[in-house]
Amino acid sequence: MRSKLVVGNWKMHGTRESCSSLILALKQGLDGVPEGVEIGIAPPSVYLPLAAKLCADTRIQTGAQNASQFEQGAYTGEVACGMLADLGADFVIVGHSERRALFGESDAVVAEKFAAVQAASLQPILCVGETLEQRKEGITADVVMAQLAAVLERVGVAAFENAVIAYEPVWAIGTGEKASPEQAQEVHALLRSDLAKQDKEIAAAIQILYGGSVKESNSAELIAQPDIDGGLVGGASLEAEQFLAICTNADN
Catalytic residues: 96, 168
Closer to ligand 13P by CB, 89 or 202: give it.
Answer: 89
Please give the distance of CA 245 from its chain centroid, rounded to a whole number: 18
> Site size for ligand 13P, by CB under 6 A?
14
Alpha-carbon distance 72 to 12, whole Å?
A: 24
If binding is defined by CB under 6 A, does position 105 make contact with ligand 13P? no
Residue 232's closest CA among 126, 153, 79, 111? 126
* Cβ neighbours of 63 (radius 10 Å): 28
- Please report whether residue 213 would count as binding ligand 13P according to CB under 6 A: yes
Residue nearest to ligand 13P (CB): 234
Task: State which of residues 235, 240, 243, 249 lies at the interface with ligand 13P (CB under 6 A).
Answer: 235
Is 223 one of the binding residues for ligand 13P (CB under 6 A)?
no
Among the listed residues 112, 234, 246, 247, the single contact to ligand 13P using CB under 6 A = 234
Is 238 near ligand 13P (CB under 6 A)? no
Task: State yes or no: residue 174 binds ligand 13P (CB under 6 A).
Answer: yes
Question: Minimal CA–CA distance to 64: which of 119, 147, 122, 151?
Answer: 122
- Pairwise CA distance, residues 132 & 135, whole Å: 5
With CB under 6 A as the contact rule, the residue among 4, 9, 68, 223 that binds ligand 13P is: 9
Instruction: Please state, in angstroms and rounded to a whole number, the distance separating the CA atoms of residues 236 and 246.
Output: 9
